[in-house]
Amino acid sequence: MGLFSMSEYNIVHLTPTPLVGSPGKIAWAQRMKGHNALAVAWSDYPKGGPLAGKFLSHTLMIDDFTRQYIEHAIRHADIIHVHNFIPKERAHWVRDLNQSAVYVYQTHSPLREGPLYVNRGNEYFDYNVRLVVGQHWGRFYQSYIPVPNLILSPPSIRPRKPGEKLRIMFSPTHKHVGRWTSKYSAVLEEVLLSLAKLGQIETISPSTPVSPEILMEVRRSCHVTIDEIATGGFHMVSLEGLCAGNIVINRADYFSRATFAGFCDGAMPPFTYADDSNIASILLRLAENPEETAIQQQIGHDYFAGFCNPLRLVEVFDAAYEHALP
């Protein structure tokens, strides 16, 4: 019997930080599907920092006003969905409130790259189901069920017009040393700077973090979103780019794309593959071909509209829950 042919479920998501809004988005989509779902974060990003307050649209913080409501939700939860990590004292508090719920663990990224893995999924609770964000971390957690990130914004497109300069959205990042956590490419930054100086492109790049809502609105005015070309994976920004009707450039390998295709009836996401060796030629070709740009924008938009509706993708989570639900 399918999950939605049964009664609705009470679901509480517990997360150490808002995790750039991911748990809150899942809870939102589950509410739209008829469940009672709530996302609770132990703390926001550091006060005064660039991310503070920017990802709380669908996530509740614990304070004197919300504590009683949150305790009631945990006490009556059928499913308690823990994201990344839960502190020991919080785990005991949750366990004291509810010992009968189905406990689900989800990792969004490993805390360390191999060979020094820290498996938080076995701490404090006897988890019934373990999930992993399926964009590329699934290769490290092969016994976990892959699940997608959700984008709640409606799809849109602003096709590039003849004579219009190619607008590229790109957010630089600091250099990481990890094989799979790196997002930095000195070559990419040099290429973008050079093409901008030549008048071939216009680069849109926030100097400081802005809210997801503002960033999405600006992204909708662009034609290209560049994720990262350093690893074989991709990130939420690639999905946001498709949602905004952008050509999405990343270095996602077959494994990463095929995992996401598993959520989308086997249809591979239409990313444009790039690395240091070909990024300049790809951007130059697009800059010189407005018609090709518009065609590729439409392909990405149609993919997102057809396969990435959050109410469709959230069913992956419900199917995962069914592995443990009575």
Alpha-carbon distance 178 to 118, whole Å?
Answer: 15
Residue 80 pLDDT > 90 = yes
For residues 55 and 259, the model is more confident at 259
Instruction: Kindly state the average pLDDT of the residues 153-175.
Output: 88
How far, in Å, CA of 168 to CA of 222, rounded?
6
Would you state the pLDDT for residue 6?
44
pLDDT computed for residue 229 by the predictor: 82
Weakest mean pLDDT among 6-20, 116-130, 173-187: 173-187
191 against 185, higher pLDDT: 191
DSSP string spanning 14-28?
EESS-GGGHHHHHHH
The predicted pLDDT at position 247 comes to 98
Out of 113-127, 222-236, 285-299, the most confident range is 285-299
The pLDDT of residue 52 is 75
Confidence of residue 5 (pLDDT cuts 50, 70, 90): very low
More confident residue, 249 or 232: 249
Domains of the chain by start residue, with CATH: 3-150+311-321 (3.40.50.11010), 166-307 (3.40.50.2000)
Q: Which of 124-128, 169-173, 177-181, 295-299 has the lowest mean pLDDT?
A: 177-181
149 — pLDDT class (breaks 50, 70, 90): very high
Q: What is the mean pLDDT of residues 79-91?
A: 92
Question: Alpha-carbon distance 107 to 73, whole Å?
Answer: 22
| pTM over cut 0.95 | no
pLDDT (tens digit, 9 = 90+) per residue, 45-78?
A: 888 777 777 888 899 999 899 999 999 999 999 9
Instruction: Return mean pLDDT, the chain.
Output: 89
Q: What is the pLDDT of residue 118?
A: 63
Give residue 249's pLDDT: 97
Instruction: Say whether pLDDT at 114 is over 90.
Output: no
Average pLDDT over residues 263-287: 96
Whole-angstrom Cα distance, residue 296 to residue 272?
9
* pLDDT given for residue 54 in this prediction: 81
pLDDT-derived band at 120 (thresholds 50, 70, 90) equals: low
Q: Which of 31-40, 56-65, 214-223, 293-302 has the lowest mean pLDDT?
A: 56-65
CA–CA gap between residue 202 and residue 71 (Å, rounded) = 50
Q: What is the mean pLDDT of residues 166-177?
A: 74
DSSP state of 121: G
Q: What is the CA radius of gyration of the chain?
A: 21
Q: What is the mean pLDDT of residues 169-184?
A: 64
pLDDT for residue 308: 97
Long-range pairs, 246-249, Cβ under 8 A, ≥24: 246/169, 246/219, 246/222, 246/297, 246/300, 247/223, 247/272, 247/286, 247/293, 247/296, 247/297, 247/300, 248/224, 248/272, 248/300, 249/224, 249/225, 249/273, 249/274, 249/279, 249/282
